[in-house]
Amino acid sequence: MTEPADVDEESGRAALGRTLRYLREKTGKSLGQLAEETRYDKSYLYRLEVGQRLSKLEVMQDLDRHYESGELLQGLWKVARREVFKDKYKEFMRLESRARIMWMFQLAIPGLFQTEGYAREVLSAAQTPEGNANLVEEQVAARISRQEILHRVPSPHIRLILDEVALRRPTADANVWCEQLSRLIEVGELPGVVLQVLPFSAGVHGLMDSHLWLLWEPEGTAVAYVEGNGVGELMDEAEKVAGYRLSYDRVRDLAMSPPDSATFVQRVLKEHQS
């Protein structure tokens, strides 16, 4: 029987796969028996065990319940999902998952606010014509899973300033775009979320060519993450963070109020529904 994986000695995906196999073999079940009991396809369960697929978090939740393994598989999955992203994002993702306060300025709808359909279109567009469809699906699952941050207890305080350009660039599928706009309105109504739109009429500003995140960790540490043209930079130097906070404050002064922003998004939605 295969022993449980040690996540420190191998990749997160391999560790998850070996643990899945260990738990199944420990119960004396074949893949076919497990498929019957869980209603997941046998070949799908096999690909999870050999590390060919990452799955969604909900699958790991189901299997943890099936094996009565607490949150073991969910924890290993959260480690494995980081491998889907490039190294430059890993530390940012770790900080994002812990942040108590998060301020964002975005030129596109950020992952925390995306629907699965919108995320799939965005991530598919980033692939070459011969891109790996399985990789896209794994990236979608990993991106959507991050949205558990929105419902964490205690919930983080999130402020999103969204450039109007993000609302004027629809997806190819009109239904996907309407669902995304509806999702944006829905998330904007969460108690811990403040949504503002920066209109074109605000003119030029200091963040026109980059996305910005300002994160405050539980211990009070502040970091800035800036991303543009496919390059991301994480900064914790107090002077640099203060400079980006000043830029953020200036953009916030130019943005619509939260109520006016909600009305604006609703108007854009109605335009695409008509």
* pLDDT tens column, 184-200: 999 999 999 999 999 99
Provide the percentage of residues in the chain whose pLDDT is more than 70. Answer: 91
**Burial class, 191, CB count within 10 angstroms (exposed 0-12 / middle 13-18 / buried 19+):** exposed
- For the entire predicted model, the pTM comes to 0.70
Q: What is the mean pLDDT of residues 45-58?
A: 85
* Six token digits for residue 13: 């995906």
- Which of 42-70 are b and which e, b meaning 16 or more Cβ less than 10 Å from the residue's Cβ? eeebbbbbebebbbbbebbebbbebbebe
Query: Residue 257 CB: number of other CB atoms within 10 A?
Result: 11
Among 215, 105, 218, residue whose Cα is nearest residue 163: 105
- Asked if residue 7 has pLDDT above 50, the reply is no
The pLDDT tens digits of the residues spanning 154-212 come to: 889 999 999 999 999 999 999 999 999 999 999 999 999 999 999 999 999 989 989 99
> Strands, E, within 4-115: which ranges?
101-106
Residues with Cβ within 8 Å of 268's Cβ and at least 6 positions away in sequence, in order, are 167, 168, 181
Q: pLDDT band at 72, cuts 50/70/90?
A: very high
Q: What are phi and psi of 118, to 5 degrees?
A: -65, -45
Domains assigned to the chain = 12-82 (1.10.260.40), 86-114+146-273 (3.30.870.10)
Q: For 29, list phi and psi in degrees, rounded to 5.
A: -100, 150
For residue 9, the model assigns a pLDDT of 45
Q: What is the pLDDT of residues 93-150, one digit of tens each?
A: 888 888 999 999 999 999 999 999 999 999 988 765 555 778 888 889 888 988 999 9
**Residue 10 — very low, low, confident or very high, per pLDDT cuts 50/70/90?**
low
